[in-house]
Amino acid sequence: MDYYPVSIKNLIRSLARLPGIGQKTAERLAMYILQQSAEDAHQLARHIVELKKRMRLCERCFALSDDRLCRICSDPSRENGLVCVVEQPADLASIEKSGAFKGRYHVLGGVLSPMDGIGPDDIRISELIDRIERDAIREIILATGTNVEGESTAAYIAGILAPLPVTVSRIASGVPMGGDLKYVDQVTLKRAMESRHGI
């Protein structure tokens, strides 16, 4: 590393901190950026700065958004009243890629995990309950992971929702036990969404 000028070394260090990028790849990327036109390099830098400046959470579903409401919440063609509950924005992206779901979402922002001190008040369960009446939700699909935390979170939410006038189902079949939705392939996810079952 010492043979690199400081400005390249700094960039390599930053890139190497990204997930899945080792030292060698970071060096290759830094060299690539160095060879790019000033305009392309500025655009890359600008996109990173804009991302941090503009990104916020959708006021309704808590997905990542540039605006007050995310693209899915502001899309009139999405089915109203049908809401898929996921742990994180990345899970929403996986389901969207599968193309199996045409309703709207609710991002919990985590799962119940007593070991880590994460209880019901730490994830967006009360916000989901508030939405049932406000957004006239008829059906909720619980699409938390199939690991212990995901299952217990789904069971907890199903229990809370039981007295309310809403149908609750769970995607499960096809998603491997211990599965993180991010890593489940799109075909499996589509099948799991289509063959959801009541709790």
Exactly one of 15, 30, 70, 86 binds Zn ion (CB under 5 A); that residue is 70
Amino acid (1-letter code) at residue 55? M
Is 61 one of the binding residues for Zn ion (CB under 5 A)? yes
Exactly one of 12, 26, 58, 184 binds Zn ion (CB under 5 A); that residue is 58
SS3 track for 53-84: HHCEECCCCCCEECCCCCCCCCCCCCCCCEEE
Is 60 one of the binding residues for Zn ion (CB under 5 A)? yes
Residue in the structure block whose two tokens are 């499960």: 172
Q: What is the footprint of Zn ion within residues 78-107 (CB under 5 A)?
A: none
Segment near Zn ion (CB under 5 A); pick from 45-53, 72-80, 145-153, 158-166: 72-80
In the complex with Zn ion, which residue's Cβ is closer, 131 or 190?
131
Q: How far is the CB of 153 from Zn ion (least distance, A)?
A: 20
DSSP 183-197: GS-HHHHHHHHHT-E
Q: How far is the CB of 69 from Zn ion (least distance, A)?
A: 6
In the complex with Zn ion, which residue's Cβ is closer, 105 or 156?
105
Identify the bridge partners of residue 107 per DSSP, sorted by sequence position.
Answer: 86
155-to-15, 49, 116, 175 alpha-carbon distances in Å: 40, 40, 18, 17
Question: What is the CB-side half-sphere exposure of residue 88 using CA atoms within 13 A?
Answer: 10
Segment near Zn ion (CB under 5 A); pick from 34-42, 53-61, 92-100, 126-134: 53-61
Is 128 one of the binding residues for Zn ion (CB under 5 A)? no
Exactly one of 12, 30, 73, 192 binds Zn ion (CB under 5 A); that residue is 73
DSSP state of 164: S
Write out the residues near Zn ion by the rule CB under 5 A. Answer: 58, 60-61, 63, 70, 73
